[in-house]
Amino acid sequence: METKGMTHGANWAAAFGLRGDVLEAQRERYERLKQHLVFQIDAAGATDPLTAANDAPASDQGASSWSQYFTDETLLEEINTDLDRLYPAGNESFFQNELYLSTLRHVLFVWCRLHPDVAYRQGMHDVVAVVLYAFLQPTEEEQQAQTAEVKKLPEHAEADTFLVFEAVLLFLKPFYEIVKTRHDAAAGGRGEDGGRLFASFSLKENEGSAGGYGQSFDAGETKPALHRLCHHIQYELLQQMDPQLYYHLQNLEIIPETYCLRWIRLLFAREYALKELLRVWDAMILDSSRAAVDIPVINMTDKSDNDLLQLPKVISKSEEASWIGFPLLRYICVARLLQMSSQLRQSDNTGCLRLLMRAYQEEKSDGATLNQNERAMELTKFARILQDPMTEESQQSASSEKGGAGSGSSSVKVAQFQAGSLGIILTAAGAPYENRLAVKSFTRDSTTSDGVGQAEASGKVCLGDLLQSINGVAIVGVTTEEVKRRLQLINRPVYIGFCHCSDAFGDVDATGFEDSDAVEASDGASTSPRSDTALSELVQPIFLPGELCYANVETSMQRLVLSHDGSCQSHYISGKLFITSYRCFFTRLLGRGEIGWQVPVLSIASIDRIDPRAISTTGGPATMSMENAQVALGFAPDDSYKVVIRCKDTQVARLSIADHGEYSKLVKCLSFLAFPKSLLDAFCFAYSPTVAPSEEVQFDIRQEYGRIGLLSFPDHLRCIDQSPQYTLCDTYPRHLIVPADISDIRLKAAAAFRSHQRLPVVSWIHRSNGATIVRSSQPLVGLKSARSGEDELLVRLLCCSSNKKAFGRYMIMDARSQLAAVGNKAMGKGTEISSNYRGAKLMFMNVENIHSVRQSQLALAAIFEPKKSAIEDTSTSFYGRIDSSGWLRHVRLVLKASVELAHTVHNGMSVLTHCSDGWDRTAQMAALAELILDPYYRTLHGFQVLVEKEWCAFGHQFALRSGHARSDVSNEQRSPVFLLWLDCVWQYIRQYPTECEFNDRLLLVLADHVYSCKFGTFMFDCERQRKDFFVKHRVLSIWSEINSQSERFTNHMYAPSEQATVLFPSTLSKNIKLWKGYFCRWDPTVIPPVPAFQCY
């Protein structure tokens, strides 16, 4: 219990049992320890005790002293390195005086000498600094007047700092220890190096870890405490408290060690200002559930120093105390996650990591200190409720008493619910609780003798009560369906808080309310804009068959040019912007109808706008804010309406509109067409050109199987028909190549062991050596290291039956990194355990995920946006920015992985390749490897077949990755995966300019029409979806248009080599170049200019 009038440090000392004679004895112990251990810090010249050893350097004592001397010197160097950069946020200069630094140095040195098994670890200096600050506890005035001339510490401050730090480290020491695993010990015993890239995340070690589903750790394995606690926080507690956030982090492949490590080891020392942090530490140290500390009795009259090395111990009979640390710490971690839940769930991988790893930033506002203290109190209050949800009742009662009689009008009661129905029906509450759910009625329970449900039987729930919390987590602004989903995802018992409120339904009878999720507001934009027939007739020649014009707007478009002095200048061109069912395009006012700029409406990523009517007529801050907004969007401030159209093909159009009516028409019409509510509104369903029958492309994967030779091994392989219902895997092509010696029942069992049922199937075979390329998704190994005999048999038959010369050996190439693959085990997935797959060798190709690729593409595109480039930091190297974007690194990694795959198959060994779900990185690797191995795919028609087979038929999610018809530009599932592969193909044709029949224009057209939705080729997410829609609607394939203009896309240097049919590209960094034809085509400041090629 905190004692008023004492410093935080004194309260902590008392809580650890350091009081009275015990405290005095421990203070003397520290002083004597300091005399014995810290002599080397201040020793100099003849006073150095090692000088005695110099007289007898050959003696054992001399050798031991010198060894200790150098050990201490190394230790001090490590401590001083960290102390020199001790600048806690909000208190940057506080510790930077010699007296404080010397105190911290002594404390750390003595502790490390007493604990040589751990010694010094980075971060300990942050912890001891908090302890010293807690004893000094300066006021605001004292802290502002703090100078480097501090001459004296309060009496016993250094000794007390050591004693409390020693007690705190009793709970933190396990998180700083390095624990050898059984694998490490075995490797050491064999005399092996035993070093691994990710030592604590090997597949074997994680077979029994408590990951996503709360399994207990294998008692036979020694698990690092830090590892156990991090997993406990995210994979058990967070899953129980906020399952939506838990699954979101799992889907983003965010492992808890990335953010929990600092939170746990430093006890949030870098997440909060020191004054705020003291409140957080109060909660952990003064927590009644914390284990007691046994302070050894020191005989102060004994001068023999026998008691000096007696160390305090934690008194606990609980096994979990060895890895839990402070009991409240884990709940504070979860509380912090829950406070950021809404932000995290709206962020992608990079955004989440930025939020989770963000250090404290000082707030420059009035009342900031008060807000900080309140924030710390709210965090610890929340954590206590999470630790014991029943305490929500007592905390609410205490708050009501403090607030007076008027504040007690609503009280919280917490009821415990076991498995089964809750016994209540929830509905939307009335004013003023519109964002809350209330108890509408009780339901009967047939499993009980009296038929009374759990809620009514508890005696704590009344009709009209507001739903307050579930397991301590506040429930506000959610629907009944979301509550149902949450209750289905968490384990029982569950603790639900209800707030008694007499007017939850306002003046409306509760029985008149529907569930909140049954009411859907209209956005007023559900009707299609009127087609402007007269305008259509006026400019009909420039429209495509089936294209309708909905609006034209008088506007001025900003044009950027490279001036004579090398700078980027802008001017405006007056004209009209036409908005049609397919695209928006700009024509000059005095021109002859030529299109000066165009983009398909479904290629629009976002629409930013500025309405000058929002400017305050009195000027002032509102005016300045509006001017800043215009400048931020690349405009010179004026009174016109501004619109910025950002496109998925990296184009940016800036429009200035004088008339409000024109502005309103443009925004409304463009928003409706760019982000339709259904993909059936896409232009491909209306596009109706006249196409000759010979130009109609009908891809049949069975013909390609025959060409490759997969149908030439009937004793080993067979082609099956899934039926129109795609009963085996609905994201695969209808016809699949599987082993002849495996039954359909076993195929279904094997499919059930793979993510999304994407079982291993053959994609390509080497005609000469019989080696195959097999693709699939990741296996559902999970934390229990599950295995499937059917899957193992299927893989062995696919990889070994047709190439006997490999002697049963084959390769499994996981496109991911080992860390990412192991992280998926927490979600019940993972990668193959090679010992279960006889003859297999497992390789990780380290190709990065969709989130990293998306961020790199955005960063690279920004470099070639002239408006941004003009104001870039001149200290940043242009080539450095390209390199730091990471795009070329992604290109190289995909190329390198594909070359390795092709090389392995060419040498006669089959390869099973997959990533997570088998439709992103797997498609990249398989398609590029086949381009390297098979000259047919380097022809114009063969390349079309390659795209249709590996990308379209095998289920790359074009709609999801391209964001078709979606306005959520930050959606985490968007990623230019196909564009990255096209860049790799461009690298290939650049290195072999005469080996491919097609040119880079074909790649540009494909890159653009992935987003345009003009053709059906890249619509939807799999073959089955396309067939379901296209059977009712005639759509055109992009290949029909390409083949009708084949001359435009043919490489006139095409002269394939007759000797070398397999051509491996170089993957050296110096040979990976920027694809200027794509990324630089809209930047007029590039010299020489890059042609702005597009074919819309």
CA-to-CA separations, 808 to 756, 797, 842, 910, in angstroms, rounded:
28, 9, 14, 10
SS in 3 state form for 23-88? HHHHHHHHHHHHHHHCHHHHCCHHHCCHHHHHCCCCCHHHHHHHHHHHHHHHHHHHHHHHHCCCCC
Which sign does the torsion angle of CA 827, 833, 838, 842 carry? positive
The answer to whether 404 is a known ligand-binding residue is no
Rg (CA), the chain: 34
Cα gap 952→1019, rounded to integer Å = 9
The answer to whether 850 is a known ligand-binding residue is yes
Cα gap 1009→809, rounded to integer Å = 42
The answer to whether 920 is a known ligand-binding residue is yes
Please say whether the beta carbons of 639 and 627 come within 8 A: no
The answer to whether 849 is a known ligand-binding residue is yes
The answer to whether 719 is a known ligand-binding residue is no
Number of separate helices (H) and strands (E) present in the chain: 42, 22
Residues with catalytic roles: 915
Backbone φ, ψ for residue 1039 (5° rounding): -70, -30
**Helix 274-285 vs helix 8-15: crossing angle, to nearest 10:** 20
Cα gap 161→414, rounded to integer Å = 41
SS in 3 state form for 1045-1067? CHHHHECCCCCCCCCCCCCCCCC
Please say whether the beta carbons of 96 and 86 come within 8 A: yes
Structure tokens at 199: 């030592």
* Cα angle: 710, vertex 716, 720; to 5 degrees: 60
432: preceding bond cis by omega (within 30 degrees): yes
Q: What stretches of 561-659 show up as alpha helix (H) in DSSP?
A: 621-632
Chain-centre distance for alpha carbon 673:
31
CA-to-CA separations, 747 to 710, 736, 740, 758, in angstroms, rounded:
18, 11, 11, 11
DSSP per-residue letters across 892-953 = HHHHHHHHHHHHHHHTT--EEEE-SSSSSHHHHHHHHHHHHH-GGGGSHHHHHHHIIIIIII
Q: Tell the residue number behind the tokens 């080599």, with chain if given.
A: 1057
* DSSP three-state, residue 577: strand
Structure tokens at 367: 């009342």
H or E stretch at 600: strand 595-600
Task: For 318-456, list the strands marked E by DSSP.
Answer: 412-417, 424-428, 437-442
The answer to whether 111 is a known ligand-binding residue is no
Phi-psi sector, 364: left (phi>0), alpha (psi -120 to 50), beta: beta
Residue of 548, 532, 533 whose CA lies nearest to 688: 548
The answer to whether 951 is a known ligand-binding residue is no
DSSP per-residue letters across 762-801 = EEEE-TTT--EEEE---B--TTTT---HHHHHHHHHHHHS
Chain-centre distance for alpha carbon 50:
54
* Cα angle: 267, vertex 269, 272; to 5 degrees: 115
The answer to whether 916 is a known ligand-binding residue is yes
The answer to whether 883 is a known ligand-binding residue is no
Q: Which residues are annotated as a binding site for substrate?
A: 849-850, 915-921
Q: Which residues are annotated as a binding site?
A: 849-850, 915-921
